[in-house]
Amino acid sequence: MLCFWGAQVREGFELVKPDQVKHGKCGLRSLCPKTAVQDMSAGRIFAGFIRDGKVSVLRLRSEDYDHDGKLKQLQLKNKIRLIVCGADDAVLLSDSGKVLIMDKSTVCKPLKGLENRQVIQIACGDHHSVALTNDGQVFVWGENSHGQLGLRKDHPGSPSAQHVQSLSGVPLAQISAGGDHSFVLSLSGVVFGWGKNSAGQLGLGDTTDRHVPTVVNSLNRKKTVSISCGGEHTATLSKGGTVFTFGSGGRGQLGHKSFRDEHHPRVVAELWGSEVSQVTCGRHHTLVSVASSKMIYSFGCGMQGQLGNGEMIKQSVPFPVDLPTECNHDYTIEKIIAGENHSFALFFKELESKGKSNPSRPVLTLNDRMIDRWLSGTDPWATIKQEINTVFSSAASLNGSFLKTSCDDHYQTSEDHCGLDFDLVKSSFAKLSGNKSLISEVVKVVQQTLLPSLNPNPVGVESLRVYLLLPELIRRLKKQKTELTEALASKILQLDPDSHKVLEKYWSKLPDDWLNSLVKLFHNASAELIEQISCDEMDCDLTRRLKKFLKILQMIYQVCCSANRDIPNRDFIIHEISDLLDTLQATLDKLFLPVLGFVLSDDLEDMVKLKDYCFETINILVKFPFVADTVSKKKMFCYLQVLFQSLPDPHRIILNGNVLHINRESVLTDTLKYLRQKTHAFRYPLQVTFIGENGVDMRGLSAEFFFLLSQSLVKWEKKVLEIHESSLVWFNPDGMQANRDFYYLGVICGMALYNHHYINIDFPLALFKKLLQQSPTLNDLEELSPVEARTLKSLLEEDEDEVVDMFSFDFTVNGEKLIPNGDQIRVTKANRQKYVDLYVDFVFNKSVKKQFEHFSRGFFKGCPLDAWSMFHPEELQELLHGSPKYEWKELQQCASYEKCSASDELIKNFWTVFFELSEENKKKFLIFLYGTDRVPVGGFSKRSLKILLLECPDADDRLPEAQTCFGRLILPKYSDTNTLRDKLIHVINFCKVFGRA
């Protein structure tokens, strides 16, 4: 049954004979043609009807026509399932998804630009139209006077369909068009509008036209399920039945008890609680239906009876339409239509199938049922391939897949919530990847179509779901995994900054297994490329590709750090980097002489290219330090030093270099004297000479120098350093007069780091955090001053206000005010966290601000290569202090032997004696052998130990000797264990001059 009311029309539209039209109250008429009306539309000059796939149109009386025309059936080859009328034309949609344009003379022609597309929805404004395809793409055509096509401001309009590329990734549920404005609605209820906005009909809070799709933020998370556009107003319907209206209100069409415009979406309060099921906008009036009560309400312009309540007025609140009595019994409201000055309602009997009047179809999305159907093999392979191509070639289709529908979760999609059902995605892709034919077809479509089509500037956060889905799909592949991972990485890196931020937020909230899989995907791809680079002599393309993966890993790593995700740092470390660095080192060794650095090859140009390639590869790795372990980072630091030292230096003093002449009895004094010189060559390796002693510094002498210097520094006047209860040292807060000393201390520490030596000064981890521009915490204070920190922790942990008051703290530290008037502000339960934060900041920052500034400036001077910033604070501390782990068995395991073997009796006796030594004497042995008791990063395995057996007649009269530079122990062949023990203990306790006693 079709009910209609409003402006006068030909009786029954010629769908039935005039005497078969039933007249009800308030001008309502109804009819029941033999062939039921499946769908209809009414515009300014046409009304169109679809019955059994055939279209009939009727010209309506208007300004140009003073009478109604006759009903005309269009002679079309294909069945039509949808008609939408504009101001003076109409758009038809066939069952096969083809679009026809009907002009004023009712001539129909195919629309150009959609020949290979299957359209599922159409919408018309006055002079523009919108179409939605089955893969979620939006096409527009017509005039663009106000930007209603959504293409760009200067686009002149088009008679053929144009793709709205900005919406290409948005999973859409509906399209709508009004006078000169357009809207689309996403599956998760996000509303996008564009076009004319003179009355605020876009709901954006202003009256400025928009030429591109723009999110109506005030409708976010409102669970919008339907939208309708009028001449200059818009209405939306939420899942719970709430109606919002906005735009022109001059005729009451907004239903807000007023006739003013609304620039923001506003609830129609009079409909609150009515559970509205449909809403539709005419030119200047609005209709809503409530399925549960079988009622239709109207508001707006009723001057021609289009409100259906017998009043020819402008009505600003919803009133019920006086429907025929039979509508309340056996019929249900299937569809309401509001036209120019007309209103219609399609009713179907309750026993008839639903959806007859809703020919619009949804965008094809992937779901578990579809995958099961593919796996069952019930459909022809051609059909399955077509569906795979449709879904997996479209970001919009994938972005609308696997939404979490429980509790309407996906309607909460925002920058913080992606709306995906991760468990469903995981199980579905697991099934899909288990079928070789299916996954092969999917991979082909993703690689050839989907990835190249991804928009770097997506509109709306829903467009980013594909970047969460693809890693889960790709990680299950056995072939082409790295290739697809690289293509995905490229697309992620091309995203605009705002999209990057949203994607990173999504990553930060991924389930643990998903986040781990994401890390593993890009980690494994990086490792594979690094292995290839290690095998190829020079391939710049490989390093370029590697950089993409490392950038993605860096994004994920930073997300994990900022979100405190429990992903261990070791999961990011790529162990293949160590082999790559060894390969690069071998290549560099072939290129340069060890000392002078001259190129060996006659083909200078090729050698220079190879050298540049090696260092460029290292430079890439340096920018992503989180993927390298400490040992690999140290290797990179060394390689960069070689490059750094080969660069031109206008201040280089070739004859003197960086040579330091030191007297053992005045190490600190001589060092400071050297540092006070006006020019230095810190960029070159330090060469130490002890005055009055023989020996060339091949790292042994400089190692011993820093050991001796450390002993002098810890005895430095209290004006520079102070020792805390933890035995750790920190800057003296009262040392303001010793600025130059803090600077020199920084230079010395920087020199030690740059020359790969150790300073035996026990600074806390906080120092290295500050050098790396990280903030120390209460835990750092606990390392430096355990008693102070425990007191502060107790303060934070107390639950009772009275106990907190018992601490009797104010906002001061040692008489220094932490805040203005701090001595007058008591610490309470409410402000205690602020007090603790200020306390920690005072100890590590405020109280030693100048001291640290001078130290830091000196550190940068002594270590002029800033690549040290790639280390973590703990790693930097270990590089300067040495490893705190003394694995003595490892020292034995890494030993090699000359003129003897590990099975010789003397060697067995030596190790027996060594392991009997006290911990202190073992460390003294290290000083004797290496000039320092520090353990290198990576343990003793990174240090050479060679034991040379010396056979001589007077062996028992000789002492062991050490060649410090080479880590060689010269061990006389003693006659018994006691002699060996006595000689070894003597030499390690009394050695003072370069490996001798």
Active-site residues: which are they? 965
Q: Which of 978, 980, 929 is nearest to 950 (CA)?
A: 980
Which stretches does DSSP call E strand in 861-922?
895-898
Q: Which two tokens stand for residue 398?
A: 């994938």
| Amino acid code (one letter) for 858 | G
Which stretches does DSSP call E strand in 134-180?
138-142, 158-163, 172-177
Would you call 99 helix, strand, or coil by DSSP?
A: strand
Query: HSE on the CB side for 643, CA within 13 Å?
Result: 22
β-strand 158-163 against 721-723: which pairing, if any? unpaired
Q: Which of 991, 971, 966, 967 is nearest to 981 (CA)?
A: 971
What are the percentages of helix, strand and coil residues in the chain, rounded to 5? 40, 20, 40
Which stretches does DSSP call E strand in 899-976?
945-950, 961-963, 968-972
Q: Which two tokens stand for residue 182?
A: 């357009």
Q: What are the two backbone dihedrals, phi and then psi, of residue 75, each rounded to the nearest 5 degrees?
A: -90, 95
Residue pair 162/140 in contact by the 8 Å Cβ criterion: yes
| Amino acid code (one letter) for 585 | Q
Q: Which two tokens stand for residue 632?
A: 């690999």
What is the separation of C-alpha 566 from the centre of its chain, rounded to a whole number of angstroms?
17
Cβ atoms within 10 Å of 738's Cβ, excluding its own:
21
| Residue 294 burial (10 A CB sphere; 0-12, 13-18, 19+) | middle
Find all residues with CB under 8 Å of 313, minimum gap 6, and list them.
Answer: 302, 303
Residue pair 802/820 in contact by the 8 Å Cβ criterion: no
For 536-591, where are the alpha helices, taking DSSP H only? 540-562, 576-591
Ramachandran class of 419: left when φ > 0, alpha when ψ lies in -120 to 50, beta otherwise: left
Residue the block writes with tokens 């010269």? 970
Residue pair 547/564 in contact by the 8 Å Cβ criterion: no
The alpha carbon torsion through 136, 141, 147, 148 (nearest 10 deg) reads -70
Between CA 843 and CA 847 the distance in angstroms is 6
Q: 718: which DSSP letter?
A: T
Residue pair 18/11 in contact by the 8 Å Cβ criterion: yes
H/E element holding 644? helix 630-646
Q: Which two tokens stand for residue 915?
A: 């392991």
What per-residue string of b and e applies to 542-581 under the rule 16 or more CB within 10 Å gives b? bbebbbbbbebbbbbbebbeebebebeeeebbbebbbebb
CA-based torsion, 689, 694, 697, 701: positive or negative: negative
Between CA 767 and CA 167 the distance in angstroms is 51
Between CA 503 and CA 514 the distance in angstroms is 14
Cβ atoms within 10 Å of 728's Cβ, excluding its own:
17
Residue pair 446/436 in contact by the 8 Å Cβ criterion: no
Q: In what order do the strands lie in the sheet with 158-163?
A: 119-124, 128-133, 138-142, 158-163
Residue pair 284/230 in contact by the 8 Å Cβ criterion: yes
Residue pair 890/884 in contact by the 8 Å Cβ criterion: no
